[in-house]
A = this chain, B = another copy of it.
């Protein structure tokens, strides 16, 4: 059945079973611990020995989390899994399995469906994660990708948001602001070029800090950790509130992506503000005792991103952003509903 754009075959011309078959074909041979895989009422798996299960679900919705006019299908599939992997990383967990629940508009071209799935399953394979099952449904509305992931972690290596203490240093992985700038570039209709490619890539294909999260859990260096899905400002507020502390963040120390900083400057926007309130940077924020700096150096060497100290936790519950000698209250981040 041709779609509105004319010509391309769309998913409404296939049965649910045929679509599931197209996902199934892209999956590598299942591991031993998968007792019953795709094709039954449910998947059956053997639990990992001496590990806790870490569970997360996150949905990305067309029109809310991505705009199909400038987000290629491969980026949609990538992001759907990446946002979930970031949650596992924030707990110190190693990815194990995923369930995909997709609500597809009937007019979605089959080719786009295939690109989305190819990208998602490629990322799953890269982090050695098995897609064990899922669900497909039609929707009269936007495309929705809902992914459930399960990772594993040893009990004493679990990272939560609640363990930060006054005096702990606060760190962020990688760079911030790149995704927010990338989204602005895409909205402005910019094509990838020398100056925009990195930020656009950061927005479209975020790299969750899977390796670093697991390392931080394993070497017991972090006292609390969470990911930056809704921006650094929001993450600092949430982590400190969960831990019952406050924080002072050094605005001059923030690792802002250089090409993002340039973009913000060229467009008369405040780089710090844009970088801490913009979402979509799937980096980790974590707290660590000052004496753990040696362990953090080791994690940085073996991990997949630099670590930057951006401030410290305080007994006073206020969350302060200190920049060029001026202190102000940390701005609020992005909220979905209000």
Residues B134 and A57 in contact, CB atoms below 8 Å apart: yes
Cβ contact of A40, chosen from B42, B104, B161, cutoff 8 A: B161
A337-B12 in contact given A55-B99, A56-B41 (Cβ < 8 Å): yes
A93: B residues at CB distance < 8 A:
42
Residues A42 and B55 in contact, CB atoms below 8 Å apart: yes
Residues B132 and A61 in contact, CB atoms below 8 Å apart: no
A99-B137 in contact given A16-B336, A35-B52, A335-B15 (Cβ < 8 Å): no
Q: Least Cβ distance of A223 to chain B in Å?
A: 14
Q: Chain A 9-35 against B: per-residue CB contact (8 Å), 1 yes, 0 no? A: 001111111110000000000000001
Query: Within 8 Å of chain B (Cβ to Cβ): is A63?
Result: yes
Cβ contact of A138, chosen from B55, B57, B135, B337, cutoff 8 A: B337
Interface residues of A (CB under 8 A from B): 11-19, 35-36, 39-48, 51-59, 61, 63-65, 86-88, 90-91, 93, 97, 99-101, 103-104, 106, 132-142, 144, 146, 148, 150-151, 153, 155, 158, 160-162, 225-227, 242, 335-338
- The 9 A-B residue pairs whose C-beta atoms are closest, nearest first, are A141-B141, A47-B47, A42-B56, A41-B90, A148-B148, A41-B87, A146-B146, A57-B99, A63-B140
